[in-house]
């Protein structure tokens, strides 16, 4: 079960364009703070701050490799596939329930020209 | 109670099927006539589609714009590739969040069967970053609502 708090912090974390760009970069593979800071013209502390928000939201994880601490997308935290599929499903279900109604209306009010078929 | 079936195919595709009590012709029209699309392709409650351009012919363009009070809107652009009236629509689309997502290739078919029409929609799965952006943009209100509903059901 996904907790609402977790979802809230994930959405909050994703609301920032720099953080979305960081995720886009990490989707291509893990990277260190230094590597992440480079394309953003931001200081490393600023990037670290963004990473902390992403880590707190469970979207990014880090591992230790000697003195390096590369970050990667946290698949367990994101579960973006599951959430996306769930969002898609609920949006489609809502859409198709409405479509049922649209189709029923079409049936009862056929096109003016050429009759029902 | 859900008539919708949604499954992933390999790691690239998602296939959606849904049975409708209507003819393939009616379904095809509901998927290609802007006036009809605007009535149902709205996603979560609270959203409207003030702009719907849908030039349903090969090479024709589509542009759907969604709006919701209190949230930033977003839009989708796309092009039709192949259309077989009342049976099959192939198009490519992308969301603008506001950066465009990678192209999503969509094949939609309508197949008459005993009680109506079976619709099958096969689309490309977005990559991880795109999924994250989609989750973050626009639909969070509806999504939270749907999770809230889910929790009350469990």
CB-CB under 8 Å, B40 with A1 = no
Q: pLDDT tens digits for B99-146? A: 888 899 999 999 999 889 999 999 998 877 787 777 776 555 544 444
CB-CB under 8 Å, B133 with A7 = no
CB-CB under 8 Å, B25 with A14 = no
Q: Which of B39, B44, B129 sits opposite A24 (nearest CB)?
A: B129
For residue A23, the chain B residues in CB contact (below 8 A) are 128-129, 132
Q: pLDDT tens digits for B55-79? A: 999 999 999 999 888 777 889 999 9
Which residues have CB under 8 Å from B16's CB, separation 6+?
Answer: A92, B4, B5, B6, B119, B120, B121, B122, B123
CB-CB under 8 Å, A106 with B26 = yes
């Amino acid at each position: 079960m996904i907790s609402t708090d977790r979802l809230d912090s994930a959405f909050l974390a994703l609301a920032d364009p720099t953080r979305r760009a960081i995720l886009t970069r990490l989707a291509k593979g893990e990277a260190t703070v230094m590597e992440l800071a480079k394309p953003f013209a931001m200081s490393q502390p600023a990037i670290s701050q963004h990473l902390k928000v992403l880590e707190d939201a469970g979207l990014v994880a880090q591992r230790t490799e000697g003195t390096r601490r590369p970050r990667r997308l946290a698949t367990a935290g994101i579960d973006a596939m599951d959430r996306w599929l769930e969002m898609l499903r609920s949006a489609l279900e809502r859409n198709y329930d409405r479509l049922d109604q649209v189709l029923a209306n079409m049936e009862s009010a056929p096109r003016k020209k050429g009759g029902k078929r | 109670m859900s008539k919708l079936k949604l499954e992933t195919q390999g790691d690239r595709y998602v296939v959606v099927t849904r049975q409708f009590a209507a003819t393939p012709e009616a379904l095809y029209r509901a998927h290609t006539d802007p006036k009809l699309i605007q009535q149902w392709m709205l996603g979560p409650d609270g959203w409207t589609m003030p702009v719907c351009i849908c030039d349903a012919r090969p090479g024709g363009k589509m542009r759907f714009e969604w709006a919701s009070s209190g949230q930033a809107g977003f839009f989708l652009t796309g092009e039709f590739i192949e259309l077989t009236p009342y049976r099959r629509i192939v198009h490519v689309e992308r969301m603008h969040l506001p950066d465009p997502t990678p192209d999503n290739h969509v094949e939609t078919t309508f197949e008459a069967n005993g009680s109506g029409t079976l619709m099958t929609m096969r689309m490309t799965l977005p990559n991880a970053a795109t999924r994250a952006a989609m989750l973050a943009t626009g639909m969070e209100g509806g999504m939270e609502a749907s999770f809230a509903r889910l929790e009350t059901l469990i």
